[in-house]
Amino acid sequence: MLSLKFIREKSELVKTSLSGKNTSVDIDALLQLDATRRSDLQEVEQLRAEKNRVSGDIAEKKKDGENAEADIIAMREVAAEIKSVEERLKTTEEQIQSQIYFIPNYIHESVPRGKTENDNVVVREWGDKPEFDFAPKDHVELGKSLGLLDFKGAVKMAGSGFPLYTGLGAKLERSLINFMLDFHIQHHGYLELFPPFLAQRNAMQNTGQLPKFEEDMYRIPEDGLYCIPTAEVPVTNIHQGEILSEDELPKKYAAYSACFRREAGSYGKDTKGLTRLHQFNKVELVKFTHPQHSYAELESLVENAEAVLQALGLHYRIIELCSGDLSFSAAKCYDIEVWSPAEGKYLEVSSCSNFENFQARRAEIRFRNKETGKAELLHTLNGSGVATPRLMIALLETGQQENGFIKLPEALHPYMQQEKLIP
């Protein structure tokens, strides 16, 4: 979250960022609450000093055998006033906290301004769009003909929006996950984690999912737990409340997890096949970095994620998100979109974001500055490296042959122990 000090000192920047992210929060009202809080803090400190002084006078008078009744009455009055101000202060602070958690991160100055995804900027493309001498089939038809996917079976188990991979489809999904984990560990120096798929409320709050996006979460109320929407949540919280050594930075983690999202706001969006799911698999990349290096680390993060698609020979593009399309917690973000030949459009498979100290402040994650010896908030970053459903779409559709075979990328041969999928 943003600190009150930051909001107070850079209120116009915060207001501009709110407008840029199409979010409405009354910053002036919040600052008035902050002014009231600071006034009450000053008053309670003065009253406590007065109470201490009177207590000293009472002790001296009792020591000298003097009557201290008037001072005792005065001290009780001061104590009652302190209690009253403290209660008022507590109410004000609760009001501030209830509002400040709904204020999104500020927008980095380099982010292009715009209202919707139509204003996003194409940074670069890689590879060529595949061309076919026949009418390409979509992943749903391919998955059915090859026995890779069973959407009807999944509906019997959990309803719509949940995939069921079967036979070589299940093996391909598992192979993609293992390939990506191995790739990031061996080529990019990430440490592998296998985190829980459930998280406590405070962990969700630390990464910015709560309280704003509670309707998108799957909950287990009796245990106070949430199904994670991404491994970003547990992995970021691994250093919750810690002070890291500056020499440890950057710390880089790669983690596989299932991801659960109710997609409460997805009405009207494309939900065909694997395009938009309530449960899906993803390899997540998380970095803890020095503030001075976080934007260089963001560029590196994007390169790490896109290298997966290059290794699989899939055409993709990098998009820099405009202000209006930025997520709640991100200061800057790039999306990686892979090409779907059958749909004739790009599908997002990764978002790579720099949150600066937004998450670190919530989770109290700091590093010890070697020069000053002081503990400072570090910067957190994360990106999908990558999500499997739309990757599977592109892989099946790009690799399809006229005879119905699916040609597999060479990088997957050791994992699949075969070079193609045969109907």
Catalytic residues: 261, 276, 348, 351, 390
Alpha-carbon distance of 291 to 289, in angstroms, equals 6
- Cis omega before residue 211 (within 30°)? yes
Alpha-carbon distance of 364 to 396, in angstroms, equals 43
Alpha-carbon distance of 363 to 232, in angstroms, equals 13
Alpha-carbon distance of 282 to 336, in angstroms, equals 14
Q: Which helix (H) or strand (E) holds 88?
A: helix 69-100
Place of tokens 């989770």: 363
- List the beta bridge partners of residue 258: 281
> Is 258 in contact with 233 (CB distance < 8 Å)?
no
Cα–Cα distance list, 314 to 299, 392, 413 (Å):
20, 11, 16
> Is 396 in contact with 314 (CB distance < 8 Å)?
no
Torsion, CA 16, CA 22, CA 28, CA 31, rounded to 10? -80
Nearest-10 crossing angle of helices 168-188, 294-311: 140
Q: Is 386 exposed, middle or buried (0-12, 13-18, 19+ CB in 10 A)?
A: buried
- Cis omega before residue 195 (within 30°)? no
Beta strand 316-320 pairing with 121-126: antiparallel
* Residue 3 DSSP SS3: coil
Alpha-carbon distance of 172 to 167, in angstroms, equals 9
Q: What backbone torsions phi and psi does residue 125 show, to the nearest 5 degrees?
A: -125, 160
Half-sphere exposure of 192 (CA within 13 A, CB side): 15
> Is 236 in contact with 286 (CB distance < 8 Å)?
yes
Closest CA to 145 of 416, 413, 397, 419: 397
- Helix ranges restricted to H, 189-241: 201-207, 232-236
